[in-house]
Structure 1
Amino acid sequence: MERRLAAIMAADMVGYSRLMEADEQGIVARLRAHRIELIDPAIAKNNGRIIKTTGDGMLVEFQSVLDAVNCAVEIQRRMARRNADVPSDARIQFRIGINLGDIIFNDNDIFGDGVNIAARIEQIADSGGVCVAASVHDQVSGRLDIAFDDLGEKSLKNISRPIRVYRAVIDEPGVEPAPGQAPKAQAQAVSKPAIAVLPFANMSGDAEQEFFADGLTEDILTELSRRRELFVISRNSTFVYKGQAVNIQDVAKKLGAQYVVEGSVRKAGDRLRITVQLIDTATDTHIWAERYDRKLDDIFLVQDEITTAIVATLPGRLEAAQNDQLARKKPSNLAAYESVLAAKVLHHRSTREDNARAQELIGQAIGLDPEYGHAYAWRGCILGQAWGYGWCADREAAFVKVEADLNRALMLDDNDADVHRILAAVNITRSNFERARYHQERALALNPNYDLVVVQMGELLTWLGSPAEGVEWIEKAMRLNPHHPARFWSHLGKAHFTAKAYARAIEAFMRLPTMDALAHIFVAASHGWLGDRTAADAHVAALRRLDPQFDLETFLATIHYANEADLQHLRDGLSKAGLT
């Protein structure tokens, strides 16, 4: 047996039995997600060691009380963000207690009074709260940006002496600036475009269609709310205008919305016609309008189909309108959201110069609002692009920055699909396909109609050896966003090549406005397999002009096929094209 001083964190899940009874499989899956994405990384980052776990709790050892408290507060703050959109009776919440004391270590387990006190203090904590013993408080007070409430001395079960307990106030800073030290700068609020969806009008005169019109409106509201770059006015605010003839600009002013979506539903026989339009209230202009005519075989299927079509297309049109406005502004006037938007546009152009400017703008966004999780996610994406294309002097240092930005984004907003999308991409580059698939599926669950998430599912399936299925996902992304970035054609070309559909691969790559080295490589390999050496030679020559130092094995090391046979297929095609 070994005895030493240690900080012990005891945590358990509130209402575990009740939640498991209501939805056993769902709770197990969600708890596993919280462990993978939040709890275990937070413990590792703060130098903790998990001693034991139970179904609803765990004991963790830390060598430093500062690390223990930082870890506990990080977990609770991030869990609060994760629970923001979850009904109160379905939330997974934890109580955490921390004690500093003498611990007995034996056979990879811990015992003793110090452990018992940590467990009893945890039972005092509120749902989502952290309580600490006086021994912990005395060590961290004034050293962390956390305030504490003194709960006084508590009589704990099976502990003979009273223990003084403090509650961490985890939703507000607690350290005043030192004399002569300037207070922390307040971050600017992110000014996202606000959008209101007015109740769709029922034009059919059929009272039963009222339910369809309301359901369609609510579905659009729900799906648009998945987009973290939009501020969507709530249903309660917009449905007060149901059945009223309104002046759009007056409504927009009252709701504080820059954009308004309105539409109508008309049923005639077995046909259903739905119209929808997006209005910029600042200029009173129609940005986008569409009409959907469907046969009413299954009203719920039709509702889902039209909802998907609207919410997939509408953000793209809104973003295009924002881009037009940005083009008329001076860069010095850009706020945090607008800087992110402009950086995205430059990123999608996929050139070295545009990437460098995108990095400047995304850094500007973070400078304007250091708590803007979406900006950190996109800085990780933009830096990741520079890393992937070799546009950085120190690739390893760049990758470290990418991971740091994504970890920061996860801490600030676990429910941003972009964060998980980019984490999936990062894990692909490390050939960690299990983690890549996990984050990819999480991104899809958060926003199934986001074209960048959908297209990446096609990429991942291509790398995993299912290119035909990958083609389906990539083509779906193109349908979701008819104004998709040009690089979608490259993704489609790689999927077709891997599926050995060489003519289709060539056709996809030739749709690119400008062919880069990667495109010439895959087109050359496609012509190699088709036996057209003349065409292959032309693309090999173009590749050599773009990259005189091209080395085949170095290039192949950047291709992330899970199956060696797929990589050999590419190598053989390039050999047939005369590229060795």
Structure 2
Amino acid sequence: MPPKTRMAPGSAGRTVPATPITISTIAAIQSIAVIAVVLRSHDSRSPFGVAVNRSVVTRKLAAILIADVVGFSRHMERDDGGTFARLREIRERIVDPKIAEQGGRVVKTAGDGMLLEFGSADAALRCAIDVQRAMQADNQSKPSDQRIEFRIGINLGDIIVDGNDIAGDGVNVASRLEALAEPGGICVSSAVREQVHGSLDVGFDDIGEQQVKNIMRPIRVFAVALDSTAASHSAGDQTKRTAARNGNASRASTRQALLHPRSAWAAALLALIAIGLGAFWWNARAPNAAGPPAMSVGVLPLAAPAGNASTTQRAESLTHDLSAQLARADVAIRVIPMTARQGSPRNSGDVAPALNARYVLEGDVQPRRELSEIRLRLVNATSGEQIWNEIVSLKEPAIAAEQMRLLRTAMEHLRGRLFEVEIGRAIAEPTRATTAMDYVLRAQAIDNADKSLDRLRRQEALYEEGLRRDPDLVPALLGVYSVLDGQLDVDSNVDRAQLVRRMDEVTSRAVNLNRTAPETWRARAGALMFMGRWDAALEADARAIQLDPDAAWLIASHAWLMSMAGRPAEAVTLVAQAVAMDPPGSWWTIRVGCEAHLLLGQYDQAIAACERATGHAGDEFDIAYFLAAAYAHTGATARAAQETAKILRGSPGFTIAKLRAKGYSINPEYMRLAEAHWYTGLRKAGIPEQ
């Protein structure tokens, strides 16, 4: 079974969510980003601080196609799961085959948008025409409010190639052309129009030169008339249609998620600086109407008894350690330590507005005989309600490793409670879930006990919507990985190669965005394992533990990797270590032990562990996998039949052959053990071979 990334109490994810952004902030960031790119072009390091080889950045001429779903937010609001499932089906049935036919390449996707590269203008336009005509036919039987339509823009121009990514003026122009297109339509630049000549059965409406955002020169634009009998029209005949398209030019869309401009004209640079800094200054003065960021926790200095200098110094040190351990606890948590210049607040309500935090962690240190007692409280900064508390007792003199482990355990407990409360807030106000992180919380609110394909796809839709709003949101990237992991379990007809490619995409991006978060490396290890890159997977897993050696869940995840490497005896030892670090052990820890015992042929121990896991919040489907086999091996046929029914209910059409084809591990020793103990047990339990 694949490694589970951590979710909210019992689920996953992790990156510091951005502060709510206003329109003026976006304008400022766009302007300042261009300045940063120009300055960075003189630096030998990548945006992530990693040395790069400048020789791999090249230029070339290419045809760029950008597509965007019309009314995507409206569709998602009406039926997010159904919309996402239909979009994926459309891509697999219509879009991807047309791209392949014309030799195109998917550069990136972002929720409702796609950025594609083709070798010629003719190929790009043929692909766009075929897709739009197929969508017209597909929509004929659909009610108007359920029709999926694309806008498409195509440009032929110079682009910058940086690895698998592209940028530059050629891409920017394609983005503006897409904004000018009508629903179901295509707009192309004059460069594209000149290249295709009369080789296609379409007409071209010349809608004249258009002045568009962030492009200094006017662009000559042609709208493609998909009706093959349509004649080309002059600019003078298109006044009304041009005005309508101009209305679309300023709409917010996924183009901002797809485009990362890396060059700008020198003549525009000073103007951008002035506009950007001005907008940034204005926004900094404006009140934050959206409220504090989701998952934000302000950390107040721990209080100490007056007149006790040593305890005061100890409290300062412990405050710093608590902040560090809370930041390690989950990448989704935004930790905001209080600085000295913010003064000494009387209570959490005094400091919360200054910190812009939704919650406040406060507490005090009380010296006791041979120990220090830390009393911690998490408070809702708005209502003042205490939502969590715990007492941590540290022996004196302190042993550094033991102190860190105890503080980390407390912050893990806080993390679980924080997710519970934040998820409750997000689902209580579904119509106000406007931030990317709120969509992640809504995804994690969906009952994980129901491990059905429908549930996983609904979660995937919410994670992808979060990425559409913020492509750099690491919890959403890790969420996508987690649900793809789950789909591999329950979807008997899953396209494993396509799923693993997407896993590779999201985990690679997550690691690049946050190289100090153990969750990103843990997920990356899982993806690499699926790709058969064992050495790289073990290195990524070791990196995760190095970043957070006190995290029991990481030790349990490493135990799972040992089982997949055909070393379940080592996995059993690691599971015992993880339980000792955070007793009595999480669902994931116990589940890993269950699988390891099964692979060793220790069926009674496997049953004991699996039955313990069923009492925890987690995926019963996973446990049924192992319990059915273990019960069957021990002759408990009635219980084995019950678990078999759970498996077939969760994954209709499940067979031994399909389980083997999922390729959880291709390690020879693992495959031998799985055949001897897992697959054989499932056969005895009634799971069909084919």
Q: Same fold (TM over 0.5)?
A: yes
Residue 153 of structure 1 corresponds to none
Corresponding residue SS for 2:390 = strand
Q: CA deviation at 1:93?
A: 4.8
Query: Residue 170 of structure 2 is aligned with which of 126, 140, 143?
Result: 143
Q: Relative contact order, CA 8 A, sep 6+: which one is greater? A: 2
Query: Residue 676 of structure 2 is aligned with which of 568, 572, 576?
Result: 572
Matched, 1:248 2:345: no
Q: CA deviation at 1:460?
A: 0.8
Q: Distance in 1 between matches of 2:435 and 2:41?
A: 28
Residue 314 of structure 2 corresponds to 212
Of the structure 1 ranges 287-296 and 517-526, higher mean CA displacement relative to structure 2 is found in 517-526
Corresponding residue SS for 1:290 = strand
Residue 614 of structure 2 corresponds to 512
Q: Distance in 2 between matches of 1:440 and 1:258?
A: 33
Q: Distance in 1 between matches of 2:300 and 2:470?
A: 31
On the 8 A contact 1:277/1:290 being kept in 2, the answer is: yes
On the 8 A contact 1:427/1:435 being kept in 2, the answer is: yes
1:499–1:271 CA distance, 2 compared to 1 (3 A): farther
Residue 232 of structure 1 corresponds to 335
Residue 25 of structure 1 corresponds to none
Q: CA deviation at 1:521?
A: 4.2
On the 8 A contact 2:294/2:422 being kept in 1, the answer is: no
Q: Which amino acid aligns with 2:545?
A: L
Deviation string for 1:384-415 (max 9, x for gaps)? 32133227664433333333333443444444
Question: How does 1:320-469 map onto structure 2 within 5 Å?
Answer: 320-331=420-431, 333-346=433-446, 348-349=448-449, 350-390=451-491, 394-448=495-549, 453-469=554-570
Corresponding residue SS for 1:233 = strand
Matched, 1:308 2:375: no
Q: CA deviation at 1:470?
A: 2.8
Question: How does 1:105-184 map onto structure 2 within 5 Å?
Answer: 142-143=169-170, 179=219, 182=249
Residue 162 of structure 1 corresponds to none
When normalised by structure 2's length, the TM-score is 0.54
Q: Which amino acid aligns with 2:684?
A: G
1:145–1:544 CA distance, 2 compared to 1 (3 A): closer
1:387–1:528 CA distance, 2 compared to 1 (3 A): closer
Corresponding residue SS for 2:372 = strand
Corresponding residue SS for 1:229 = coil
Q: CA deviation at 1:357?
A: 1.3
Residue 289 of structure 1 corresponds to 389
Q: Which amino acid aligns with 2:623?
A: A
Residue 552 of structure 1 corresponds to 656
On the 8 A contact 1:468/1:499 being kept in 2, the answer is: yes
Query: Once the two structures are aligned, what percentage of the paired residues are identical?
Result: 20
On the 8 A contact 1:313/1:481 being kept in 2, the answer is: no
Q: Distance in 2 between matches of 1:185 and 1:540?
A: 49
Residue 242 of structure 2 corresponds to none
Q: Distance in 2 between matches of 1:490 and 1:206?
A: 47
Matched, 1:280 2:247: no
Residue 257 of structure 1 corresponds to 357
C-alpha RMSD over aligned residues? 4.4
Matched, 1:269 2:369: yes
Deviation string for 1:181-223 (max 9, x for gaps)? 9368486999443211111122385422333222211112123
1:397–1:542 CA distance, 2 compared to 1 (3 A): closer
Q: Distance in 2 between matches of 1:533 and 1:98?
A: 61
Q: CA deviation at 1:544?
A: 6.2
Q: CA deviation at 1:540?
A: 5.3
Deviation string for 1:482-506 (max 9, x for gaps)? 8998555433311232344422311
Q: Distance in 2 between matches of 1:340 and 1:435?
A: 29
Q: Which amino acid aligns with 2:656?
A: L
1:246–1:340 CA distance, 2 compared to 1 (3 A): same
Corresponding residue SS for 1:444 = helix
Q: CA deviation at 1:251?
A: 0.8
Corresponding residue SS for 1:200 = coil
Structure 2 stretches lacking a partner, 5+ long: 1-36, 60-159, 162-166, 174-212, 220-245, 258-289
Q: Which amino acid aligns with 2:332?
A: E
On the 8 A contact 1:204/1:266 being kept in 2, the answer is: no
Corresponding residue SS for 2:684 = coil
Deviation string for 1:405-461 (max 9, x for gaps)? 334434444444333222211222233321211222223334445665443222112
Q: Distance in 2 between matches of 1:315 and 1:74?
A: 40
Corresponding residue SS for 1:80 = coil
Q: Distance in 2 between matches of 1:77 and 1:192?
A: 35
Q: Distance in 2 between matches of 1:315 and 1:177?
A: 52
On the 8 A contact 2:492/2:653 being kept in 1, the answer is: no
Q: Distance in 1 between matches of 2:319 and 2:653?
A: 56
1:480–1:365 CA distance, 2 compared to 1 (3 A): farther
Corresponding residue SS for 1:289 = strand
Structure 1 stretches lacking a partner, 5+ long: 1-69, 84-91, 102-135, 147-172
* Count, aligned residues: 439
Q: Which amino acid aligns with 1:406?
A: T
On the 8 A contact 1:421/1:443 being kept in 2, the answer is: yes
Q: Distance in 1 between matches of 2:526 and 2:460?
A: 18
Residue 277 of structure 2 corresponds to none
Deviation string for 1:318-373 (max 9, x for gaps)? 11110121231125634210111221343844332221210121122122223334
Q: Distance in 2 between matches of 1:306 and 1:420?
A: 24
Matched, 1:195 2:297: yes
Q: Distance in 1 between matches of 2:52 and 2:646?
A: 59
Q: Distance in 2 between matches of 1:248 and 1:502?
A: 52
Q: Distance in 2 between matches of 1:280 and 1:479?
A: 32
Matched, 1:502 2:603: yes
Q: CA deviation at 1:285?
A: 0.8
When normalised by structure 1's length, the TM-score is 0.63
On the 8 A contact 1:260/1:280 being kept in 2, the answer is: yes
Q: CA deviation at 1:290?
A: 0.5
Deviation string for 1:490-533 (max 9, x for gaps)? 33311232344422311222242698565344224334554656
Deviation string for 1:277-327 (max 9, x for gaps)? 111111211111011224325342443133212222222211111012123
1:369–1:311 CA distance, 2 compared to 1 (3 A): same
Q: Distance in 2 between matches of 1:99 and 1:492?
A: 47
Residue 260 of structure 2 corresponds to none
Q: CA deviation at 1:568?
A: 3.2
1:278–1:540 CA distance, 2 compared to 1 (3 A): closer
On the 8 A contact 1:377/1:422 being kept in 2, the answer is: yes
On the 8 A contact 1:374/1:416 being kept in 2, the answer is: no
Corresponding residue SS for 1:201 = coil
Residue 10 of structure 1 corresponds to none
Q: CA deviation at 1:376?
A: 2.6
Q: Which amino acid aligns with 1:337?
A: M
Corresponding residue SS for 1:202 = coil
On the 8 A contact 1:198/1:241 being kept in 2, the answer is: no
